[in-house]
Structure 1
């Protein structure tokens, strides 16, 4: 891999703010002097022809011991650090002016606790960029291990060509928190300007798989050096301004394209096209009903009688509604926490891969082994590769009661017999298997007493339902029970009042913490 960041530590410098001592050693004892900043820039040109340098690097980062930087800020408001950068810029322009062209010389001085007294770390190279004072940020880069807890890495500016991201101790221009791939791996971001999307590459290329998921909006990077279940890193590149017209059109086209679209439910005969592989059959045979004249004769004991299964409807729990706990301050509820295991099913706290929390101030948080971070809906969390949790915002008509909807990775269903009316609520055994939050472990109270989370928002007898030809008839049984009709895409349709209400097949009803789909 090419050297994108030149990195060196200069030692034995009595005064780390002495620009001349950092730039070039005094005297002419060439064989005994240590390589300093000027020597490093001269030995590593940006461009060269043969052995002759034709262009030099112009952006340099100086890292000083943190204690020295702090003392300078306390005593002189950072004046010594500014003078150091300005003096080095002058020396740089004086000695390398013929190799700069139109490039501006820029220096930055920062601190680091890992440096010993008298040590200075210098960084320059193709992936080291220092912005102009008035330059705006184009992209913000962040990384995650579980798609819930994101850590900021670095910005990218419009005129910045490259950024190299790695772990502690590596030769990178920015360090990613929780870097899982070792010091020899690096993530390279190429920026061709505001009109072109950034290009993401992992180095070395053959050791990693890097893919972009337009649905989640981030890159998934996996190591190929390990067996299945190896390390992964998620990268999000967020633009700070509106996309140009051309880039926005390309993005919308990409997002609109189906990913792994399902095959049609009805088989169709398809003739061979020019794209079919050689040797393939000319026609894909499809199962079709035979004509009546070709019906085989019945065997002895057989008849044409048809056996149809008894009609059986189903009710499925597809989402959990997180309440606004600020409405229930008199209950002492401080937080509601929903822990999900690696299969994204509700689990014990000790088995949780990710937990979604709403507190008494109606703030939403995601908690994983990586930490805890505030989140907002809509969002998607994929702590494992195979499944994901979707967090949807509550519709404005429901926002006074609900903070967000958590779509379950795997709905839970129960059969419902036709021709009878059933009730749903805390005291009803019907569909009790779908009331996953009927436990004190999900609700945290100030007094420490445990009560079922269903005590918040769900009446003892909430509503009744009966399967009919065109759907389900819903009747509210408690005047204080809030019921909401959501369509097949979980979009708000109407609030259900005291009058009997017809809910079409495949639509949803939100009651308490539960979003139920009533299926044919």
Structure 2
């Protein structure tokens, strides 16, 4: 197997900025001296015919002790490092000009903390490329261990043929020295090719659905893995600008009008909707709800997605963040350690949080933090973009039998579908007063429902509750208005969705 990167540490260099001392030792005692940069380039040609070199490497990286580089920057603004690169390029051109062809000699000087005083590390080879001053990046390579947090590996330039990816260059690399990845640039009009060296060291496959490579150890697909994404520069789609924040907060957060004293419970005086005093879920009583949980019921409501709200619309409530956590199986779970958490910030930006870190994300996006199962963030229909930032498509939907009842913060029916009714998921300015995320956009009684042969009849119960009707593909159909006339209820067809608060519910029959 060829050596793609030649690297050697030159020691005992009195002045690391002395180009002549790095290039070639003085005198004619060629057999008694240690090899320097010129000798290394001569012994390792780029191409040869028999024992005769026909081409020489033209790009060289020098790593100097970081302290020397810092001193040069402080005292001469980096002038000695630039002079070192220019002088070595001149010596290189002079001694190997007939082996360079049309290649331009380029040197790059950088600092390194792992070198001792008087040491210099030189790197050159098939996979060492230094771009021209005006050369633009063609591809960006990034790595991840969970598909949520991505860190840069290296850029790839139009005239660069090879790039080596291994434990020294790739964040999250879990394989140690066991194997290397070789990225082959086939040109600006072709997709790069990723290969493993040696071939039997690792398994590498392209997940076309998610758009990245999955690398695992040979014969251990369920073990540690590395995700590698190769993205064309400038090809990432820009997220649409967020609509301007509404000046007035939603009515569902406003205090309810005072009721006559005769109807006010003695133990709970009137309060703002945002801070309920009573528990939001009454205890389940089998004798009172046998019909809803009948084992023979075929009609059910399924929580298909979570609609992430734009918290900027709820600025007056003090909401600073909303977290939607998922466990290793990508089941929405507010208990225990989360493998992946989507966080909506007060300025409507979205972040993905995993044990590896935190990263801002754009919509649409897909994540597979623990294996084959993935979770997607989809764009909301334009008619809902003023209120919502994204749709989180649940890989593991949650279903509950349905006959008749009402859905809302104060209703026991379908309470199992209100999975975000956990106060710790909602960050607030006043952390001493816990509040459920369900209070963002969901009334105590949002709508009443009754299953029928034609579908699910829906009647909006609160004049301030926004209800949206989506089809089976989550395309917008319309809003469900305040038709309080029970003679003309709205009928939700089987397979269609209703959006109330941050819950996207599908009626299945």
Using structure 1 for the length normalisation, give the TM-score.
0.83
Corresponding residue for residue 514 of structure 1: 503
CA distance in 2, matches of 1:232, 1:444: 33
User: What are the Cα deviations for residues 36-90 of structure 1, in whole angstroms up to 9, with x where unaligned?
Assistant: 1000000000111111111110111111112222222222222211111111111
User: What are the Cα deviations for residues 125-165 of structure 1, in whole angstroms up to 9, with x where unaligned?
Assistant: 00011111111111000010000000011111111110001
Corresponding residue for residue 487 of structure 1: 471
User: CA distance change for structure 1 residues 349 and 176 in 2, over 3 Å: closer, same or farther?
Assistant: farther
**1:242 to partner: Cα distance:** 6.2
**1:178 to partner: Cα distance:** 1.7
Say whether residues 1:233 and 2:222 are aligned partners. Answer: no
Moved more, 322-331 or 102-111: 322-331
Task: For residue 22 of structure 2, give the secondary structure of its aligned residue in structure 1.
Answer: helix
Query: Which residue, out of 186, 202, 208, partners 2:202?
Result: 208
Matches within 5 A, 1:166-245: 166-168=166-168, 175-224=169-218, 227=220, 229-241=222-234
**1:228 to partner: Cα distance:** 5.3
Corresponding residue for residue 497 of structure 1: 481
Matches within 5 A, 1:367-516: 367-417=353-403, 421-448=404-431, 449-499=433-483, 500-516=489-505
Matches within 5 A, 1:315-394: 315-348=301-334, 350-394=336-380
Task: Report if aligned partners of 2:148, 2:369 keep a CA contact under 8 Å in 1.
Answer: yes
Task: For residue 87 of structure 1, give the secondary structure of its aligned residue in structure 2.
Answer: helix
Gaps of 5+ in 2: 237-294, 484-488
Say whether residues 1:35 and 2:35 are aligned partners. Answer: yes
Task: For residue 57 of structure 1, give the secondary structure of its aligned residue in structure 2.
Answer: coil
**1:124 to partner: Cα distance:** 0.4
**1:368 to partner: Cα distance:** 0.8
CA distance in 2, matches of 1:189, 1:153: 12
Matches within 5 A, 1:226-305: 227=220, 229-241=222-234
User: What are the Cα deviations for residues 89-148 of structure 1, in whole angstroms up to 9, with x where unaligned?
Assistant: 110010011111111111111111111221111110000111111111110000100000
Task: For residue 229 of structure 1, give the secondary structure of its aligned residue in structure 2.
Answer: strand
CA distance in 2, matches of 1:102, 1:444: 61
Corresponding residue for residue 259 of structure 1: none
Higher relative contact order (CA 8 A, sep 6+): 2
Say whether residues 1:69 and 2:69 are aligned partners. Answer: yes
Corresponding residue for residue 95 of structure 1: 95
Task: Report if aligned partners of 2:297, 2:402 keep a CA contact under 8 Å in 1.
Answer: no
Task: Report if aligned partners of 2:446, 2:462 keep a CA contact under 8 Å in 1.
Answer: yes
Corresponding residue for residue 123 of structure 1: 123
User: What are the Cα deviations for residues 302-321 of structure 1, in whole angstroms up to 9, with x where unaligned?
Assistant: xxxxxxx9773111001112
CA distance in 2, matches of 1:204, 1:74: 44
CA distance in 2, matches of 1:166, 1:354: 26
Corresponding residue for residue 158 of structure 2: 158
CA distance in 2, matches of 1:85, 1:228: 45
CA distance in 2, matches of 1:378, 1:199: 25
CA distance in 2, matches of 1:456, 1:242: 36
Task: For residue 223 of structure 2, give the secondary structure of its aligned residue in structure 1.
Answer: coil
Corresponding residue for residue 16 of structure 2: 16
CA distance in 2, matches of 1:348, 1:70: 48
**1:166 to partner: Cα distance:** 0.7
User: CA distance change for structure 1 residues 315 and 242 in 2, over 3 Å: closer, same or farther?
Assistant: closer
User: CA distance change for structure 1 residues 229 and 136 in 2, over 3 Å: closer, same or farther?
Assistant: same
CA distance in 2, matches of 1:93, 1:212: 42
CA distance in 2, matches of 1:350, 1:498: 40
Task: For residue 299 of structure 2, give the secondary structure of its aligned residue in structure 1.
Answer: strand
Task: For residue 38 of structure 1, give the secondary structure of its aligned residue in structure 2.
Answer: helix
Corresponding residue for residue 134 of structure 2: 134
Task: For residue 222 of structure 2, give the secondary structure of its aligned residue in structure 1.
Answer: coil
Task: Report if aligned partners of 2:299, 2:451 keep a CA contact under 8 Å in 1.
Answer: yes
Task: For residue 339 of structure 1, give the secondary structure of its aligned residue in structure 2.
Answer: strand
Count residues with an aligned counterpart. 445
Moved more, 443-452 or 378-387: 443-452
Corresponding residue for residue 297 of structure 1: none
Task: Report if aligned partners of 2:178, 2:201 keep a CA contact under 8 Å in 1.
Answer: no
CA distance in 2, matches of 1:21, 1:517: 75
Gaps of 5+ in 1: 169-174, 244-308
Corresponding residue for residue 248 of structure 1: none
Corresponding residue for residue 81 of structure 1: 81
**1:229 to partner: Cα distance:** 2.8
**1:34 to partner: Cα distance:** 1.4
**1:503 to partner: Cα distance:** 2.1
**1:372 to partner: Cα distance:** 0.8
